[in-house]
A and B are shown apart, each in its own frame.
Chain A
Amino acid sequence: MKITRVRIHKLAGKLKDRFGWSLNWADTRTATLVEVNTDEGITGWGDGSFGGERLLSHPELVIGRSPFEVEAIFDDLRAPAATQFDRGEPTSAGLDVALWDIVGRALGKPVSALLGRQISTRVHPYCTCMYRKDWPDPAAGLAEEAREWVAKGHRILKMKVGYGPEMDVEVVRAVREAIGPDIGLAVDANCAYDDGTAVALGREFERLNLLWWEEPIWADDLNGYDRLRRMLRIPLASGETMSADWILRNYVQPRRVQIIQPDLDTVGLTGGRRLSYLCALNGIRLMPHNWGTHIRTAGELHWISSFPDVDSWPAMFEFDQTESPIREAVIRQKIEMDPRDGTIEVPTGPGLGVDVIPEAVEQFRTELITVG
């Protein structure tokens, strides 16, 4: 079997209402889907980076090769290394997932059977929600929204902070009061603070029984993370924009954070598998970030199903519930949490186990790039 063509579909979908976080407001959701075709009629899909300039200027690194060369292709598509540096960063995570999809379909096996030892058939999601809306009273608005998510059966919620210490304490306190003590609650500052501010704010957060604090400071402020790790009793989480190489060297090996959150659109399944082993060995919780379509969600379910429980913490990942016209629309299957136990089933069909709807992709597509 040989790869014959790669198509990159850039999608955009307008939101009904804008939402915001510490860095920005958004009124549109976007996605990059990678479609890989083969000479045997099997097509694979991924959601994420596609190889960029490296693929466009060297299509032979993919076209004409077997999808079973997935590891080699992942490393071949790394960006050129900076001068005096060893290897460049990977650039083809989405394409990587598409190749795993093809390999699974060709073998008639779900990706979870091929990645490694499957430990879970059902995975725990946490609900990403509670971005900012145009509320006159953010605390009241967030509290109301939190109650709605709990009513739907969600057991762990993650909300946005990073609007200044006083505002953050007010809104988190309001949400905690609204949902009670038994629902898990985490906060995400999207790198809003410096470590001095974070350590003071963290002291207040400690009183609110939070499961983790995501991205309190810049991801590469390593000294800052060391300080927060020493001073705060809240588990720290980070890593959503970083490669597997970077995360392993800077977060996992030094145990700098308790939770790492790589996203499949950056690390791919090949990078994800490399991460899983060392995280498990070091007792670091691997809890993937997920801000994509359900093609990405499916990939993350397969990936996380091979990750063992750490410190009695079950395998868990981000289940984005914010508004997105694209997320569910592009696949035929539904990926839903069972409210009875708060888990999601790992797909069991071949490959990723989801089928893409070409018409939906076309509906939201703003740009198409074809290679091969």
Chain B
Amino acid sequence: MKITEISVFAPNLVEVRTDAGLIGYGEGMLCEETLRQRPGLVIGRSPFEAEAIFEELSANGASPGGLDLALWDLMGKSLGKPVCQILGKPYRDQVLACPSVCGIAQASEHRAIRLEAPGQLRRSHTRVGLKFTARDAEEALAIGERCEDACLEFWESPIPGDDPEGYARLKSELRIPLAAGPLVPLDTLVKDYIQTELVDMVVQDVAVCGLTGLRKLSYLCWLFHVRLTPCCAGTPTGTAAALHAAAVIPPVSNAINTPPVFFISGGMPEVEPAVPSCPGLGVEAQSPCGEPLFTLGGEK
């Protein structure tokens, strides 16, 4: 099976066609400029070369996430298997959803939520994370001291950008689990945050790092005792990818009430959706709307 055509439809649906008639769908950025210059990086190759394609696109400074999801969709469809079974060892067939919300009153049914601003932070029987970026480490420390009693599940991106020294300071002074967010590049994240155990959690967007990236992170996070949480925009494709990724993340511990692996969603999914069991990502057939914004390959 060879990849014959790649298209992007608004807002960011990636469609990959093959000579076997299978079509794979992903969601996220596509490195159009890189592909225009070097179409052979993808066109004519097998979707099973996803790891090589991911590394080659990354080495060329391109973001491979959207395309990578489509390749995994194709691999699963080709084998008749849900992606989680070929991505790694599946540990669960349902994953706790953690919607990202502005206020604690929203998502009242969910057992995990990510708040997008510090405010009322407590709700019983709910794991509450915070995504809020302070101006700098000083401000983060001030906010953090007020939040310590809230028993936060995590505080994502407490300070701007890639700042290991800032994170180290927060870690030494705050008693809140810290999480590095998706804006830190993958290699930097692994080298400076994960293997040094600088953070307690890593949040990664499936549309940016793809499933190949999440698989690398899944092993390394386990190795260095860092929790990994996939996140997505909440679209069907993104949610499916996040569920497959979360399915293969090793559990935090063997305890009976071990803290759950969850995924963060921009939408409002079910409380604990099932990991899709149909081949590929398991998303129902997509019918992209309108003309493609970008196309590469196809019949001449």
Contacting pair A115 B223 (CB below 8 A): no
Q: Which residues of A contact B38 (CB under 8 A)?
A: none
Contacting pair A114 B223 (CB below 8 A): no
B138 beta carbon closer than 8 Å to chain A:
no
- Interface residues on chain A, size class: 20 to 34
Q: Which of B48, B223, B253 contacts A248 (CB 8 A)?
A: B223
A273 CA to B248 CA, complexed, in Å: 17
Contacting pair A109 B46 (CB below 8 A): yes
Q: Which residues of A contact B86 (CB under 8 A)?
A: 66, 68-69, 71-72
A200 beta carbon closer than 8 Å to chain B:
no
A34 CA to B250 CA, complexed, in Å: 28
B289 beta carbon closer than 8 Å to chain A:
no
Contacting pair B191 A277 (CB below 8 A): no
Contacting pair A114 B250 (CB below 8 A): no
Bitwise interface map of A from 256 to 291 toward B, beta carbon under 8 Å scored 1, else 0: 000000000000000001100110011000000000
Count of A-B contacts with CB under 8 A? 77
B295 beta carbon closer than 8 Å to chain A:
no
Contacting pair A249 B223 (CB below 8 A): yes
Near B by CB (< 8 A), chain A positions 48-75 give 66, 68-69, 71-72, 75
Closest Cβ–Cβ distance, residue B249 to chain A (whole Å):
12
B85 beta carbon closer than 8 Å to chain A:
yes
Q: Which residue in chain A gives the minimum CB-CB distance to B251?
A: A86
Contacting pair B81 A68 (CB below 8 A): yes
Bitwise interface map of A from 222 to 246 toward B, beta carbon under 8 Å scored 1, else 0: 0000000000000000000000010
A113 beta carbon closer than 8 Å to chain B:
yes
A203 beta carbon closer than 8 Å to chain B:
no
Q: Which of A87, A103, A117, A277 contacts B250 (CB 8 A)?
A: A87
Q: Which residues of B contact A273 (CB under 8 A)?
A: 51
Q: Which residues of A contact B215 (CB under 8 A)?
A: 71
A116 beta carbon closer than 8 Å to chain B:
yes
Q: Which of B79, B89, B220 contacts A72 (CB 8 A)?
A: B89
A107 beta carbon closer than 8 Å to chain B:
yes
Q: Which residues of B contact A248 (CB under 8 A)?
A: 223
B88 beta carbon closer than 8 Å to chain A:
yes
Contacting pair A278 B195 (CB below 8 A): yes
Contacting pair B195 A117 (CB below 8 A): no
A321 beta carbon closer than 8 Å to chain B:
no
B145 beta carbon closer than 8 Å to chain A:
no
Contacting pair A114 B51 (CB below 8 A): yes
Q: Which of B49, B190, B223, B224 contacts A109 (CB 8 A)?
A: B49
- Chain A interface, DSSP helix/strand/loop, else mixed: helix
Closest Cβ–Cβ distance, residue B228 to chain A (whole Å):
15
A121 beta carbon closer than 8 Å to chain B:
no
Closest Cβ–Cβ distance, residue A338 to chain B (whole Å):
25
A69 CA to B75 CA, complexed, in Å: 12
Closest Cβ–Cβ distance, residue A79 to chain B (whole Å):
15
B149 beta carbon closer than 8 Å to chain A:
no
A75 and B89 in contact, given A68-B81, A87-B250, A107-B48 (Cβ under 8 angstroms): yes
Q: Which residue in chain B gives the minimum CB-CB distance to A1?
A: B79
Contacting pair A113 B52 (CB below 8 A): yes
Q: Which of A66, A71, A115 contacts B81 (CB 8 A)?
A: A66
A248 CA to B187 CA, complexed, in Å: 16
A71 CA to B46 CA, complexed, in Å: 19
Contacting pair A114 B49 (CB below 8 A): yes
Q: Which residues of B contact A66 (CB under 8 A)?
A: 79, 81, 85-86
A253 beta carbon closer than 8 Å to chain B:
yes
Q: Which residues of A contact B136 (CB under 8 A)?
A: none
Closest Cβ–Cβ distance, residue A163 to chain B (whole Å):
37
Contacting pair A282 B223 (CB below 8 A): no
A274 CA to B221 CA, complexed, in Å: 12
A118 beta carbon closer than 8 Å to chain B:
yes
A109 CA to B215 CA, complexed, in Å: 22
Closest Cβ–Cβ distance, residue B24 to chain A (whole Å):
16
Contacting pair A116 B81 (CB below 8 A): no
Closest Cβ–Cβ distance, residue B193 to chain A (whole Å):
12
B169 beta carbon closer than 8 Å to chain A:
no
A113 CA to B56 CA, complexed, in Å: 12
Q: Which residues of B contact A320 (CB under 8 A)?
A: none
Q: Which residues of A contact B160 (CB under 8 A)?
A: none
B270 beta carbon closer than 8 Å to chain A:
no
Contacting pair B52 A107 (CB below 8 A): no
A344 CA to B89 CA, complexed, in Å: 35
A86 CA to B223 CA, complexed, in Å: 10
The listed residue with most B CB atoms (<10 A of its CB), out of A66, A114, A116, A245, is A116
Contacting pair B46 A107 (CB below 8 A): yes
Near A by CB (< 8 A), chain B positions 65-85 give 75, 79, 81, 85
Contacting pair A71 B89 (CB below 8 A): yes
Contacting pair B51 A277 (CB below 8 A): no
Near A by CB (< 8 A), chain B positions 192-215 give 195-196, 215
Q: Which residue in chain B gives the minimum CB-CB distance to A108?
A: B46
Contacting pair A118 B191 (CB below 8 A): no
What 6 A-B pairs have minimum CB-CB distances, sorted nearest first? A117-B55, A72-B89, A75-B89, A253-B195, A71-B88, A117-B52
- Could you give 16 example pairs across A and B, Cβ below 8 Å? A66-B79, A69-B86, A71-B89, A107-B46, A113-B46, A113-B52, A114-B49, A114-B52, A115-B51, A116-B55, A117-B52, A117-B55, A249-B223, A274-B219, A277-B190, A282-B195
Known: A75-B88, A282-B191, A306-B52; 13 extra A-B contacts, CB below 8 A, are A66-B81, A68-B79, A68-B86, A72-B88, A86-B222, A107-B46, A114-B49, A117-B51, A117-B59, A248-B223, A253-B224, A273-B51, A278-B190
